[in-house]
Structure 1
């Protein structure tokens, strides 16, 4: 893939998992990356690894559920690096008490805030910058659960990810005239740290059969670096050994 020197990407949830993989993949293609998340030590490790491989990464610690923090990072990136070409809207979380029997109002706020409100905060922060450029790509880490709601992920998480899909569609409808493209990527089970919050422990054997962070990192890079006249609206991706399909088969 051709080098993309001069482009700038802001990656949220960049300290581990899909965000880290996306940041590494983009940096390997010459994109300058801005890494956001709540854990400065984890972000710095990713930045150091990117620098060691010859890439450029900047750490901007932020909790993206805080709209003021989101605006601060967007403004810093614009003022320091001059542009934002790519937003990887990846930050998200889930809780163990996710069934309706256990769900609380606080839990609802936590899940919706981390997975949907935060995504909107980041979008609204970068859109003015991208409109001024007449160009930009927004990539959102959705979920298989947004397309196929499941008690495994829980109602709040599934609803938030479905809301992200609606957000992305309407971004394309409204912002296509400004040269802005939006893509929601909906992965099925992926071997990332969020699995540790599952009520039922996921075995190492099952994790090995899942999608891996680098699978998504490579996909995000591909979408981000498509020609400006191409919009990849939505991608649904799963492991070949899909435990969601197995669950259906086991019931038959």
Structure 2
């Protein structure tokens, strides 16, 4: 009598269970979509034929990204589309209104990417004001929570959904470069993301905290010490993050990547440490 198949062999031999997901006509809501990682994600998703809702505080920048998405859809014929839904994620009522609009117009939401975030220039303890703390935490932590909270009813009803929260290297490693408010907010994002997996996995919902090191995005312009063009060129780029976001969305529904860290090969923090090795 032949030996019974090893556990999991049926799944490995079933291509429908293991292949990357087709994202054509899937719906994604991206916050912070006007620039940086959010914009890079939108363009990567457009190449996969997704229907996008782009949110952020600057309507003109959002429309520019939406126009690029439309061009990709026309040139490829893959049906990619985007509509703009301007939003301050710190406004809970506005977040709920955008989520309700997605439910009414698209009928579902397959992926939420929380990419809206900021930091203040005067970020360290001797300079940080209570107003600066509030601004960072309201956008980076509260805004992420509001968007997650708003999409959960739709995702529970679908028994499916992916939430990607853009955290930071500073959400895993405490350092002085980013300041206490940003670090505290991003550590909170990581904890909140894993709590989603713990409680919502029974509804088919999975969440990933993406923790980038230095990425060449406009947030660098808020640094107390300017970053040179040469250094920016060596960093992770927005389109690199977009490709990572696309990989996450394409993973089969039975796979959860709880946390992903991405950093430059030429990591300035590592380079500084290496210089001190005798």
TM-score (ref. length: structure 1): 0.98
Matching of residues 222-237 of structure 1 within 5 Å = 222-237=247-262
CA RMSD of aligned residues (A): 1.0
In the TM superposition, residue 6 of structure 1 has moved relative to its aligned partner by 2.5
Q: Cα offset for 1:114?
A: 1.1
Aligned 1:1-252 pairs, distance under 5 A: 3-54=22-73, 55-252=80-277
Query: Offset at 1:251?
Result: 4.4
Output one character per residue of 1:126-149: Cα deviation in whole Å (capped at 9) or x when no partner.
Answer: 001100000000001110011111
Whether the 8 Å CA contact 2:21–2:252 is kept in 1: the answer is no
Query: Could you tell me how far apart the structure 1 residues matched to 2:211 and 2:145 are?
Result: 17
Alignment gaps of 5+ in structure 2: 1-19, 74-79
CA–CA separation in structure 2 for the residues paired with 1:198 and 1:11: 25
Structure 1, gaps ≥5 residues long: none
Distance 1:251 1:142 in 2: 29
Give yes or no for contact 1:33–1:57 (8 Å, CA) kept in 2: yes
d(CA) in 2 for partners of 1:220, 1:84: 16
**Contact 1:2 / 1:29 at 8 angstroms: preserved in 2?**
no
4+ residue segments displaced more than 3 Å: none
Q: Deviations over 1:199-223 (max 9, x none)?
A: 0000001000000001100000110
The DSSP-based 3-state class of the residue aligned with 2:174 is coil
Give 2:3's aligned residue: none
Aligned residues: 252
Deviation, 1:247, is 2.5
Measured after TM superposition, the shift of residue 224 of structure 1 is: 1.3
TM-superposed CA distance for 1:92, in Å, is: 0.2
Displacement of 1:237 after TM fit? 1.1
Deviation for aligned residue 1:12: 0.1
Q: Secondary structure at the match of 1:190?
A: coil
CA shift, 1:51, in A, is: 0.3
